[in-house]
Amino acid sequence: MTDERAMNATLPHATEEASQKPALERDTTMTGSKRGKRAVPQDRIPLSPNALLVMKKRYLKKGEKGEIIETPEELFRRVARAIAQADALYGATDKEVAETAERFYALMTSLDFLPNSPTLMNAGTELGQLSACFVLPVGDSLEEIFEAVKYAAKIHQSGGGTGFSFSRLRPEGDVVKSTNGVASGPVSFMTVFDSATDTIKQGGRRRGANMGILRVDHPDIEKFITCKHDNDRLTNFNISVAITDAFMRAVENDEDYDLINPRTGMRTKTLPARKIFQAIVQSAWKNGEPGVIFIDAVNRANPTPHVGMVESTNPCGEQPLLPYESCNLGSINLLHMVQDGAVHYERLREVVWEAVHFLDNVIDVNKYPLEKIREMTLANRKIGLGVMGFADMLMALGIPYNSDEAVAAAEEVMAFIQKESKEASADLAKKRGNFPNFKGSIYDPELGGAYPFMRNATTTTIAPTGTISIIAGCSSGVEPVFAISFVRKVLDGEELLEVHPLFQKIARERKFYSESLMKKIASRGSLQSFSEIPEDVRRVFVTAHDISPDWHIRIQAAFQKHTDNAVSKTINFPNSATPEDIYNAYFQAFKAGCKGLTVYRDGSRDVQVLNIQKKPEFRQVEPRPRPDKTIGATERINTGCGKLYVTINRDEYGFCEVFAQMGKAGGCAYSQIEATARLISLALRSGVRIEAIIRQLMGIRCPSPIWQNGEQILSCTDAIAKVLNRHAQTNVASAAQEMGACPDCGASVEYDGGCIVCRACGFSRCA
């Protein structure tokens, strides 16, 4: 037995630390069918403080004044009842529907499985839009382009993210016969989509997210590759290049390849493939964009080629979809599937079958934003069942993430989920019918050959799980943990030390736990330099930056081998990585069968990355003069002291001054407000980023907080910060991407499959 395996004896049950209730203390007896019966847990969900914070901020229903009007238990009841109603469409009695609702409630409140965010937010509400991901076609006429913009706005408003291929658009400078003019090209029109997205919040809860894809053989590919070199551009887009097998062979053989005008189908010019590939690599090395999608590999796995070819994916890249198709996702918490140092496969089988039933029901009760989307989604009935907590599962098993054992564990657990999800879908098909676009049979060697029944065109996807993994109390998707210990900021500037529960258990039992050590670990993020921690513990409790890109890709490929759709995964590189390292990673991923790759080099979006090793220099500055003319806006906001009017102005360099005035003059409050505004103005004209000012002011509390338009105003200072935040929203999101700092609480963010996620407060933003 290895040292790592020997650790199993001291590791807790799957949820002992995370939820205070071991998963297997519940009844998991298999009775007559693979779905079995489960005892419904008490109306008390073992949520961590972080999970409660996330649910309050983003999921629980709110009243007209922004007050929370449901508990987490009521949320899960609402969702379970709404999704169970689909059973009635297939002949279930009221009693049977109620029983299904109880099983769905138990499935979610156990935190063994959670659906994607729109389902949690919107099931059982008037909005009722439950899908996370959509793909819209973008045609080559002005009418088709702006039709796509309009449809995207509707999807974002309902809570979904959109993917687009701009490969059908004629290149910049090409002829436009109807006007005798010239075309603007794909990149120019992407800015139109980006601007529209800026004005829409997804379901009123979050800003929209987009994926923009261009084929590598499009004449505008060079402009596309560099279109996000300025981090303030296209802030609502992730971008990826659709790379063909032929292009990769041309790169490998140092050959030329043709660029094709999509309007005419004719060659426009020939370029060295390596030149373009190196441009992609250099740009990804610079700031992580663009990603790559191996489009031929995607279409080889297309289950309905007779319906159409895949052109694009959802914003995080894991869900290839046909035009007008949508998909709903959900993830199983693998940490909860561990018992006594092994994966409990009987329990996992039960959860897979119940989750497939749940996700298939979502398709029927969903309220689709467009009739075309409803028709295409019902015709293919794609679902995406994935996992979260994989890194935690490995730790609970005593397996290092960067090891052959981990690769084998990934293949084993995902092969099991793939097989069981197919059998569950086939079982549903016998009762409810095949998906309408099902043609003949599906051949799958894991199922033993051709299979004549299938309810869902796809059943598995590995998505980034962002906020739902915070609710579940586990690591995100198939990513390694980002930190073993970190500091979480709470109200009034207080900081709380958070330590991974499995590590804390080991540290206490092996007698090396101390508060000071945990704080040191939090400051460095990794255990590897701490000699006081036993080597076998350091070997198992590795973090994202302890793991070489090679192992990241091997884990991604292991999951991809048994996943219908794609795998969302960020390949982390140290800041010292070279473009050649990224070049090699792309080829490794291509040859390993991955469908795409997202890379992030540590600090590559940091505005001071070139000075990272230098001692910072702080010099006194003189604020720039106030200009004679400024442009701005005034907002009225209610506070506990009365109506507050806040004016924020810009000059040619950006935000430059703030004025604030109470509805009634005089008094101590008035003078304090004026002083605050003057100091903000001084800071802005001295070059202080507005995001830093917002972080300092937001959350300051007075004795008279009030609610306004769905948010709590804690004080006059907090009110000013909220106004600044609204005006600087795009800047704040950009700062989070560039600096690696959460715009809500200032803690470090993780890069997860094209999204940034703060595990300290729940902030999440894709693109």
For tokens 């105003």, name the residue. 713
Res 243: pLDDT = 98
Distance CA 295, CA 311 (A): 8
- Return the minimum-mean-pLDDT range out of 129-143, 186-200, 535-549, 709-723: 709-723
Instruction: Specify the amino acid at residue 616.
Output: P
> Which backbone phi and psi does 28 adopt, to 5 degrees?
-120, 25
Catalogue the active-site residues: 314, 316, 318
The candidate with the shortest Cα–Cα distance to 290, out of 208, 232, 188, 222, is 222
550 in helix, strand or coil?
Answer: helix
pLDDT mean across residues, the chain: 86
Whether the pLDDT of residue 660 is over 80: the answer is yes
Residues 280, 283, 284, 289: is their CA dihedral positive or negative? negative
Residue with tokens 């493939």: 273
Segment among 37-46, 132-141, 201-210, 559-568 with least mean pLDDT: 37-46
Q: What's the pLDDT tens digit per position in 572-604?
A: 898 889 999 999 999 999 999 999 999 999 878
d(CA 101, CA 82): 8
Q: How much is the pTM?
A: 0.78
Q: Which residue has the tokens 């109200």?
A: 491
Distance CA 529, CA 536 (A): 13
Residues 6 or more apart in contact with residue 694 via CB below 8 angstroms? 721, 724, 725, 728, 732, 743
Is the pLDDT confidence value at 732 over 70? no
pLDDT at 277: 98
- Secondary structure of residue 742 in the 3-state scheme: coil
CA–CA gap between residue 757 and residue 749 (Å, rounded): 5
Greater pLDDT, 743 or 147 = 147
**What is the distance between the alpha carbons of residues 630 and 621, in angstroms, rounded to a whole number?**
22
| Mean pLDDT score, 275-296 | 96
The pLDDT of 655-671, averaged and rounded, is: 77
pLDDT in tens, 340-395: 999 999 999 999 999 999 999 999 999 999 999 999 999 999 999 999 999 999 99
3-state DSSP assignment of residue 589: helix
DSSP 8-state assignment for residue 40: P
Confidence label for 669 from pLDDT (cuts 50, 70 and 90): confident
pLDDT greater at residue 533 or residue 181: 533
Tokens 């902030």 belong to 763
Beta bridge partners of 241: 214, 292
Question: Could you give the C-alpha distances from 571 to 462, 466, 478, 638, 669, in angstroms and in order?
Answer: 15, 16, 11, 46, 51
Share of the chain above pLDDT 90, in %: 60
> Given a cut of 90, is residue 626 above it in pLDDT?
no
User: Tokens standing for 176?
Assistant: 């436009």
pLDDT digits (tens, 9 = 90+) for 184-200: 999 999 999 998 888 87
Give the residue from 342, 341, 316 showing the smallest Cα distance to 331. 316
Please give the residue that has the higher pLDDT: either 23 or 743: 743
pLDDT at 729: 63
Query: How much is the pLDDT for 620?
Result: 64
**The Cα angle at residue 376 between residues 372 and 381, in degrees rounded to 5:** 145
**What pLDDT is stored for residue 730 in this prediction?**
46
Q: What is the pLDDT of residues 502-526, one digit of tens each?
A: 999 999 999 999 999 999 998 887 8
Query: Which tens digit of pLDDT belongs to each residue from 90-119?
Result: 999 999 999 999 999 999 999 999 999 999
Residue that wins the pLDDT comparison between 744 and 178 = 178
Cα gap 588→582, rounded to integer Å: 10
Q: Output the pLDDT for position 606.
A: 54
> Does residue 446 register a pLDDT over 70?
no
Domains and CATH numbers, the chain: 3-128+330-422 (no CATH), 133-313 (3.20.70.20), 483-542 (no CATH), 631-766 (no CATH)
At 394 the pLDDT is: 98
Best-predicted range by mean pLDDT (55-59, 269-273, 629-633): 269-273
Q: Which residues contact 122 (CB under 8 A, 6 or more apart)?
A: 128, 129, 130, 158, 159, 203
Using DSSP's 3-state secondary structure scheme, residue 410 falls into helix
pLDDT tens for residues 462-500? 999 989 999 999 999 999 998 999 877 655 556 778 899
As given in the structure block, the two tokens for residue 285 are 């090395």
- The reported pLDDT for the residue numbered 444 is 61
Higher pLDDT, 6 or 135: 135
What pLDDT does 200 receive? 79
Q: Please say whether the beta carbons of 660 and 676 come within 8 A.
A: yes
Does residue 43 surpass a pLDDT of 70? no
Residue 244 structure tokens: 């063909």
pLDDT at 498: 87
| pLDDT one-digit tens code per residue, 394-432 | 999 999 999 999 999 999 999 999 999 999 999 999 999
